[in-house]
Structure 1
Amino acid sequence: MFKLRKFGLLLTFILLLVSVVTACGSKNDNNASSGASPSASESASASAGASASSSASASSDAGATTKKVTDGMGREVEVPAKAERVVAISNFGDLLALGVKPVGTINYYLDKYKDEPEAVAGIESIGDQDADNEKVLAATPDLIIVSNYFKPEVVDALQKIAPTYATTFGRTPYEQLDDLAALLNVEDQKQAFLDGFKADAADAKEKLKGKIAEGEKVGILQFWSKKIYEHPTKVFTPLYEDIGFQPTEHVKTLTATTEVTQEAVPANVADADRLFIMVDGQADIDTYDSLKASAWKNIPAVQKNQVYLVDSGHWNDFSAAALQWQLRDVVKLLGK
């Protein structure tokens, strides 16, 4: 299993290439397996079956300070009726979108906001890629958010610190927002985000008028560990559903993330007017530079200089934050 932040940058493909979700175990008795591993994955194929597996609908009396909810691990958990000190080991971007600023999270998430320091100002680091339980305890949370791919013993250890709720891995960002908004009683903030994103998408579309043609097709690739992967459209709804790009004929056939060879890419993206490539660092950029001068030099998007390198750390998050990052990047790159 890949370790640390690099594992998280695999986006959907690691868990889409296998049929069983596996989680990194705790490093030691003080460490909780973090959301840094498959957090981005949230596979399109998994989301259909996941929608009924957990619910934050509450069983509580009016005026009660706590409520009972069933989480993504099928556990009945008693949580605060209105949590005020949330530690996010998963779903960090979704919480920010809901206006809930966690008191603590792991560096895996904090690093994604290196260009938006105001968004994470005042949030404590509770570990690098894994949460250190002693740091979690020091943050004095009244609620801890994890994902249901965490090992039960890890969740049990966190539960001893504060009520711990497991979200359901495999849900779309919108489904995660529904679940967390119900859990945290922030339905108004959820609607505000949705309304704001809808307005941003409409603004993006307006800014791109005259920049892209009706019916333009885009291909999206991800470089990872000297391999290349393709993803189904579900992962990039801002491009396909909000801006209105069309998928390539090849992408239409994808139901799961798939590894592709360098040699197969030209045929797969032959009808793409534009190509977005997710990269993580200079090595990936160098790989593309080499390919565009050799094996990929006849790809139409390459010949038209319509290939755009984007940050895997943003595009891979499969969260409400990723929706915003994808939308903003497309406007920035194409709206010039």
Structure 2
Amino acid sequence: MKRMMYSACIAAGLLVAGCSAGVTTTEQAVEEVGATKLYQDALGREVEIPVTPKRVVALWTVGEMLALNTKPIGSTEHLMRFFTEEEKEDIAIIGDAVNGDYEKILALAPDLIVLYGLARPEELEKYQKIAPTVTTAFFGEAMASLRSMGEILNKQQEAEAWVKAYTARVASAREDVASLALAEQKAVVLQLAQKNIYLYRSATFPTIFDAYQLQLSDYQAELQQDKSFAKQQLSMESLPNFADVDRIFLIVNDAESKATYEQLQQSGVWKNLPAVQKNQVYVMSERFSMADVSTLDWALDEVKEQLLQ
């Protein structure tokens, strides 16, 4: 419900802005049909794309499109798996992971294709034969990715409205948990993927370390002095390095990861961690590891609910 009200607030703000700017003339609308612009993508390529794309196949940055009230005509099962049935409605599934089926995309007749920033030259060449193809940053900073999609879709105003509304939601959420004094506490986010434990750079989880202002463990802060640090696979023996954290957020990916967590809970090393002893371990779904703004919006409420339990 809160997110529905949130979207309504953005829409209302844009309506007021639109009224104050004057009504777009029919002539202007006609001029825009078929018009193009140059866009510099995440790989530094300058690509000629429609001024206002209408039929976008999204093989990345789906959450940003949905946040801007724009549905792609096609995406993959992997990228759509966390969204509601309503959000998925009318979006054709055209592949797995971040790879689209060429023939299915061709059949959709897109006017733009969006790929991730690690796309290989041969991928770009292949999709470019169907429609103009641009890349967006691979797990880039969420607000920057939103603004990039705003520029691509000619929805810069909507992107700024989203940022403003989200910033207000963060301020409200901080007030709701003020009694916990989170800014004075340390946290760590760990991910269980199959039988492995991973630690990621804190920027991967802005909800924890930005929105709710929790601090890094000394161990992670030291690791991040190396600007190239992105992630580290952890051994069971390394877990005591997090003895100074007050709260542990644990992402459990799948059934095999759940089994790993059950084994972890039986470990003396795990049981001796202060956060575990204080019952301040929060199990999060795999979605928490996604970096799009729609996930940030979801995570703000999800984390608050866990903290206040």
TM-score with structure 2 length normalisation?
0.82
Q: Give deviations 1:95-140, integer Å, cap 9, x for gaps.
A: 2122221111000012122xx2212211111112321011111222
- Higher Cα Rg: structure 1 or 2? 2
| One-letter amino acid of the counterpart of residue 111, structure 1 | R
Task: Tell me the distance in 2 between the aligned counterparts of 1:110 and 1:179.
Answer: 20
Q: Distance in 1 between matches of 2:93 and 2:143?
A: 26
The residue that corresponds to 1:53 in the other structure is: none
1:79 aligns to what SS in structure 2?
Answer: strand
For the pair 1:317 / 2:290, whether they are aligned, the reply is yes
Distance apart, 1:88 and its partner CA: 0.2
| 1:92, distance to aligned residue in structure 2 (A) | 0.9
SS of residue in 1 equivalent to 2:71: coil
CA distance in 1, matches of 2:75, 2:56: 9
Structure-2 residue corresponding to 1:22: none
The alpha carbon displacement at 1:227 in A equals 1.4
Percent sequence identity is 33
The amino acid that maps onto 2:47 is V
Give the whole-Å Cα distance in 2 for the aligned partners of 1:71 and 1:80: 14
SS in 2 for 1:171: coil
Partner of 1:91: 61
SS at match of 2:301: helix
2-structure distance, mates of 1:220, 1:99: 30
The reply on whether 1:118 has 2:91 as its aligned counterpart is no
Q: Distance in 1 between matches of 2:112 and 2:102?
A: 14
**How far did 1:211 drift?**
4.1
One-letter code aligned to 2:37: K
Instruction: Provide the C-alpha distance between the structure 1 equivalents of 2:117 and 2:178, rounded to a whole number of angstroms.
Output: 42
Shift of 1:214: 4.8
Cα gap change, 1:203/1:180 in structure 2, threshold over 3 Å: closer, same or farther? same
- Preserved CA contact (<8 Å) 2:205 2:289: no
> Tell me, what secondary structure is at the counterpart of 1:146?
strand
Unaligned runs of 5+ in 1: 1-61
Moved over 6 A (4+): none
Q: Quick check: 2:182–2:212 contact (8 Å CA) kept in 1?
A: no
Residue 261 (structure 2) pairs with residue 291 (structure 1): no
Greater shift after overlay, 152-161 or 278-287? 278-287
Answering whether residue 76 of structure 2 is matched by residue 102 of structure 1, we say no
**Partner of 2:28 in structure 1?**
none
1:192 has 2:165 as partner: no
Q: Distance in 1 between matches of 2:282 and 2:254?
A: 14
> What TM-score, normalized by structure 1, do the two folds share?
0.76
Matched, 1:207 2:180: no
Q: Deviations over 1:160-185 (max 9, x none)?
A: 11111112335311221222211221
State the alpha-carbon separation in 1 of the partners of residues 308 and 277 from structure 2: 20
The aligned counterpart of 2:209 is: 240
Question: 1:229: which partner in 2?
Answer: 198
Corresponding residue number in structure 2 for 1:177 = 146
Normalized per residue, the structure richer in helix is: 2
Letter in 1 for 2:241: N
Greater RCO (Cα-Cα under 8 Å, separation 6 or more): 1
1:159 matched to which residue of 2? 128
Question: Counterpart of 2:39 in 1: which secondary structure?
Answer: strand
Are 2:237 and 1:263 equivalent residues in the alignment?
yes
Distance (Å, rounded) in 2 between the aligned partners of 1:109 and 1:177: 16
2:220 matched residue in structure 1: 251
1:335 aligns with 2:308: yes
The 2-side partners of 1:133 and 1:328 are apart by: 38
Distance 1:123 1:213 in 2: 40
SS of the residue corresponding to residue 219 of structure 1 reads strand
Paired with 2:66 and 2:223, the residues of 1 have a C-alpha distance of 31
Listed one character per residue, the Cα deviations across residues 261-281 of structure 1 (whole Å, up to 9, x for unaligned) are 11111x221011110111112
Give the Cα separation in 2 of the matches to 1:145 and 1:317: 17
1:105/1:125 contact within 8 Å kept: yes
Count of aligned pairs between the two proteins: 271
**Distance in 2, Cα, partners of 1:311 & 1:271:** 24
**Aligned counterpart in structure 2 of residue 326 of structure 1, from 273, 294, 299:** 299
CA distance in 2, matches of 1:303, 1:199: 34
